[in-house]
Amino acid sequence: MNHYLSIALEITIGLGLLFIVTKVQGKTQFSQITPFDFISALILGELLGNAIYDHEVKITEILFAVTLWGVLIYFIEFLTQKFKGSRKILEGEPNIVIHKGQIKYNALKKARLDINQLQSLIRQQGYFSFQEVEFAIIETNGLVSVLPKPAFDTPKNQDLNVPLSSVSLPINLILDGEVVQKNLKEVGFDEQWLKSELEQQDISDYRDVLFAEWVQDKPLFVLKYESATS
């Protein structure tokens, strides 16, 4: 009987610890699992599983192992929040695999996907032909985001006899108070233009901007830190 009580106690403590660690790590553990998050979940499960079925492992050792792992994960998440350069290594980065209707084969190889897998991911978004897709992006969690061609948008513009217009991909120009120089150059502007756009919204310093997004023929969308935290 003592043996079963010990297992029950270990499972209960382990469940409580896993719940606390998962809550500390945030909701991305549920909806946006990156390769690093997947490894984290596996190791946490392995730690708890070994502790339950290895009778020589004590409860204090379970507490130490899971707590230490939780602290390490929290520290790494802190690094990705503070240092953008670490995000690419730990979380990966999105890959554009279809650009203006053309499949980018090199990007597909980089994402370790073949054509059939890409077709499957696109079908899950409701598009059954590459001819319907203007842009497709493989996200860090392995899912695909699709921007359809105007004729295949919802509702179908061709069905409503609405004049077709070109589509453009939204581009991030500022992230966490820093200018994304590569993206700024890609859209054909410089920092002088960006400063002018920000001044029109009473912003004088990049560091006050959490996020700025450019879309062709639309005003620059800016989200300040104070707006994001209010």
Domain edges within the chain: 2-89, 95-152, 171-229
How far apart are the C-alpha atoms of 118 and 209, rounded to whole Å?
A: 35
Given a contact cutoff of 8 angstroms between Cβ atoms, the answer to whether 174 and 213 are in contact is: no
**3 or 141: whose pLDDT is higher?**
141
User: Which whole-number Å values give the CA distances from 32 to 16, 74, 137, 154, in the listed order?
Assistant: 22, 16, 15, 25
**20, 32, 9: which is closest to 143 by C-alpha?**
32
How far apart are the C-alpha atoms of 39 and 34, rounded to whole Å?
A: 9
Which architecture does CATH list for 95-152?
A: 2-Layer Sandwich (3.30)
Categorise residue 173: left if φ over 0, alpha if ψ from -120 to 50, beta otherwise. Answer: alpha
Domain 171-229: assigned CATH number: 3.30.240.20
Q: What is the DSSP letter of 9?
A: H
Average pLDDT, stretch 92-104?
86
Of 22-26, 45-49, 78-82, 179-183, the poorest mean pLDDT is in 22-26
Interval 187-210: pLDDT, tens: 899 999 999 999 999 998 988 898
Average pLDDT, stretch 168-193?
90
Q: Do domains 95-152 and 171-229 have the same CATH topology?
A: yes
pLDDT the model gives residue 110? 82
pLDDT the model gives residue 135? 94
Percent residues over pLDDT 70 in the chain? 68
How far apart are the C-alpha atoms of 39 and 156, rounded to whole Å?
A: 41
Average pLDDT, stretch 84-113?
80
How far apart are the C-alpha atoms of 63 and 57, rounded to whole Å?
A: 11
How far apart are the C-alpha atoms of 64 and 10, rounded to whole Å?
A: 13
What is the model's pTM?
Answer: 0.55
Interval 29-82: pLDDT, tens: 444 555 566 666 666 667 666 666 666 666 677 677 777 777 777 777 777 777
